[in-house]
Chains A and B, each alone.
Chain A
Amino acid sequence: MDILNAIVALANFVLIPAAAYGAQLALGALGVTLIYGILRFSNFAHGDTMAFGTAMVILVTWALQGAGIGIAPLPTALLALPFGIGLTAALVLGTDRAVYRFYRRQKAAPVILVIVSMGVMFVMNGLTRFIIGVEDIAFDDGARFIVNARAFRDATGLDEGLALRSTQVITLVTALVVVVWLFWFLNRTRTGKSMRAFSDNEDLALLSGINPERVVMYAWLIASALATIAGTLYGLDKSFKAFNYFQLLLPIFAAAIVGGLGNPVGAIAGGFLIAFSEVGVTYAWKKVAGYVLPFWEPDGLLQLLSTEYKFAVSFVILIAVLLFRPTGLFKGKSV
């Protein structure tokens, strides 16, 4: 039995990637849950908002790289992030003005707003592909590794290598900063509290003099920022492809619903739960099993599902939660 190698292999192939992926999903789910809490509908355009935001960050990154501006060893995209957020927020606020506000005034049912958001999703989807194309774009520059697999092997003398990519660390650090800021904003500032009040009891918020249009504007602004940050981190960690972001919608919604729609803590927990389940179920456990149980020689790879089926994991969790605990783990609003 070789516990150390098993732990290193597990960390390298499951724990670290899943933690980074979980942070990305958590940021995405926070945006979804925030819009649900304030505007009371599931925003299907969130995945494509992430794609658009990332596309904007990539364009600004290219411009900065062209101008020779960088923040090595960190990726230039981090510098481009504020610009990307600004551009995305402009598009999202414009969409709200042109589309959602009309339905809000009509007091449209949530299901109508969901369909409307699907329309917005298709438009944003097309817009993003039109602007930046459909192919894979890798835009991370700067140092690639903080711990390199070969260096780790040489240093520790273990058989297994441990790679820690800089994008994974950046993802986790950025997510932590964003989440801490968001909770500070929601719990400590007057505007944040008014957003929670509006989410809690809209009529009473109106009676207290809280301006609904202002609350909605802040919700869109924060959701755009969260979407752009989540999308950029995902793109840095993997690569940017517009279609992948559309597909991310499912795990993000699963994360938000598992945690309890409208509940920010739930969105974060849900993001990590989905990520660890997805990576855990699609990982081939043969190597780790070989270290822990050397006497057992399994025939297969000990992989429960091939990676092509990773979205099935979100689906199964989503259905299980909706069947047995529709308000989610952290008591969100009933769906």
Chain B
Amino acid sequence: MSAPYLSAEGMTGGYGAADILHDCTLTVDRGQIAVIVGPNGAGKSTAMKAVFGMLRLRAGRVTLDGEDITALSPQARVAKGMGFVPQVANVFPTMSVEENLEMGAFLRRDDIRATMEQVYALFPILRDKRRQNAGELSGGQRQQVAVGRALMTQPKLLMLDEPTAGVSPIVMDELFDRIIEVARSGISILMVEQNARQALEIADRGYVLVQGANRFADTGAALLADPEVRRTFLGG
């Protein structure tokens, strides 16, 4: 088997003096979905930020497609093909849906219309709302704008920090379906999720993080079947 597309090995670091991540390792293969689950405060979002370069690491390294990107800034990582959807404040509220997508493609100098069409095909509701300000949309629609904005750079790796936070169960299922669709198009996905069971069901690879360290790492199906994971993290 070839080396994974994204590989973050032995990440150790935190915001201040105390480390939040302890030797945390995450990998995502090309076109696959990797999900990070775990209890509150386990460092899931922090691990995500570390992969994206928003956190200074004391140890460990991040490679993308074999290239060491540990020292790159988040903006440089965007240029390398990483897209990041933050958990909150992930749209430009006073700009229209279309302008949000245009801003996502800010670094691109070529014709972005085809990519925009792909986003509209993925999220048809956004086409109807394209003239409306993103701040006026519902939570689920706003998440679609946020994902769409990140897709506009044509990333090879899409990172989602709790994409279903605060949306209804129906919208959540819908979003998961769309995420699977994105992965089928060849984009690798690394995602943090609160809804652990549903997320692991669509995950090719799952990580259970506890106190900033890997507790379990296996395929999503294997984790769902693991009695200990079920008992401790999935509520039986």
CA distance A197 to B93 in the complex (A): 9
Whether B94 contacts A209 by the Cβ 8 Å rule is no
Interface 9-mer from B55-63, B84-92, B183-191, B194-202: B84-92
Task: Tell me the smallest distance from the CB of A162 to a CB of chain B, in Å.
Answer: 42
> Does A136 touch B at the CB level, under 8 Å?
no
A196 sits at the interface (CB 8 A): yes
Q: Are B95 and A197 in contact (CB under 8 A)?
A: yes
- Supposing A208-B104, A208-B149 touch, asked if A201 and B89 sit within 8 A by C-beta, the answer is yes
A194 and B153 alpha carbons, distance in the complex (Å): 15
Cα distance A117–B204 when bound, in Å? Answer: 54
Known A-B contacts A206-B75, A209-B79; A196 and B92 likewise in contact (beta carbons under 8 Å): yes
A193 close to B103 (CB less than 8 A): yes
Q: Which residues of B contact A203 (CB under 8 A)?
A: 86, 89
A 195-207 to B, binary, CB cutoff 8 A, 1 in contact else 0: 0110011011111
If A209-B78, A209-B79 touch, does A204 touch B106 (CB 8 Å cutoff)?
A: no
Q: Is the interface of A mostly helix, strand, loop or mixed?
A: helix
Q: Mark A252-287, 1 if CB is under 8 A from B, else 0.
A: 000000000000000000000000000000000000
Residue A210, interface by CB 8 Å: yes
In contact, B92 and A197 (Cβ under 8 angstroms): yes
| A205→B75 CA distance, assembly (Å) | 10
Which of A197, A201, A209 has a CB less than 8 Å from the CB of B107? A209
Chain A nearest Cβ from B7, distance in angstroms: 22
Q: A193-B99, A194-B103 are in contact. Are A207 and B89 (CB under 8 A)?
A: no
List, in ascending order, chain A residues with CB within 8 A of B92's CB.
Answer: 196-197, 200-201, 204-205
Closest Cβ–Cβ distance, residue A153 to chain B (whole Å): 50
> In the bound complex, do residue A200 and residue B94 qualify as a contact, i.e. CB atoms below 8 Å apart?
yes
Q: How far is the CA of A261 from the CA of B104 in the complex (A)?
A: 26
* Smallest CB separation, A181 vs chain B (Å): 19
The interface residues of chain B lying within 8 Å CB-to-CB of A201 are 89, 91-93
Whether A208 and B103, one on each chain, are in contact in the complex, defined by CB atoms closer than 8 angstroms, is yes
A194–B90 Cα gap in the complex (Å)? Answer: 15
CB of A259 to closest CB in B, whole Å: 15
**A190 to B103 Cα, complex, angstroms:** 8
Interface size on B, residues (CB 8 A): 21
Chain B residues contacting A204 (CB-CB under 8 Å) are: 86, 89-92, 149
Give the distance in Å from the alpha carbon of A111 to the alpha carbon of B85 in the complex: 31
Contact across chains for B107 and A207 when beta carbons are under 8 A apart: no
Closest to B93 in A: A200
Complex contacts, B153 vs chain A, CB 8 Å? 208-209
Bound form: Cα–Cα A207–B75 in Å: 6
Q: How far is the CA of A208 from the CA of B74 in the complex (A)?
A: 10
Chain A, residue nearest B84 (CB): A207
Question: Is residue B102 within 8 Å, beta carbon to beta carbon, of the partner chain?
Answer: yes
Contact A197 B103 (CB under 8 A): yes
- CB of B75 within 8 A of CB of A209, answer yes
Closest residue of A by beta carbon distance from B108: A209
- Using an 8 Å CB-CB cutoff, how does the interface string of B79-123 with A read, 1 for contact, 0 for none? 100001010011111110001001110110000000000000000
Pairwise interchain contact A208-B91, C-beta atoms closer than 8 A: no
Report the bound CA distance from A208 to B155 in whole Å: 12
Query: Of all chain B residues, which has the CB nearest A187?
Result: B99
Whole-angstrom distance between the Cβ of B191 and the nearest chain A Cβ: 17
Q: Given A201-B89, A203-B86, A209-B106, are A196 and B78 neighbors across the interface (CB < 8 Å)?
A: no
* Residues in chain A near residue B104, CB distance under 8 A: 208
Most buried by A among B74, B84, B95: B95
Complexed CA–CA distance, A204 and B147 (Å): 12
CA distance A210 to B103 in the complex (A): 8
Contacts of B74 in A (CB 8 A): 206-207
B94 close to A196 (CB less than 8 A): yes
Q: Is B106 in contact with A194, judged by CB distance below 8 angstroms?
A: yes
A287: shortest Cβ distance to chain B, in Å? 45
Q: A193-B102, A203-B89 are known contacts. Are A208 and B95 too (CB-CB below 8 A)?
A: no
Report how far A201 CA is from B86 CA in the complex, Å: 12
Give complex CA distance A135, B86 in Å: 56
Which residues of chain A are within 8 angstroms of B95 by Cβ–Cβ distance?
193, 196-197, 200
Contact in complex: B107, A208 (CB < 8 Å): yes
The residue on A at minimum CB distance from B107 is A209
Known A196-B95, A209-B107; further 9 A-B contacts with Cβ < 8 A: A190-B102, A200-B94, A204-B89, A204-B90, A205-B103, A206-B75, A207-B78, A208-B104, A210-B106
Interface residues of A (CB under 8 A from B): 190, 193-194, 196-197, 200-201, 203-210
- Can you list 14 A-B contacts with CB-CB less than 8 angstroms, sorted by A residue number? A193-B102, A197-B95, A200-B93, A201-B89, A201-B91, A201-B93, A204-B86, A204-B89, A205-B92, A208-B103, A208-B104, A208-B107, A209-B107, A210-B106
Smallest CB-CB A-B distances: 9 pairs: A209-B107, A200-B92, A197-B103, A208-B106, A197-B92, A208-B103, A209-B106, A201-B92, A209-B78
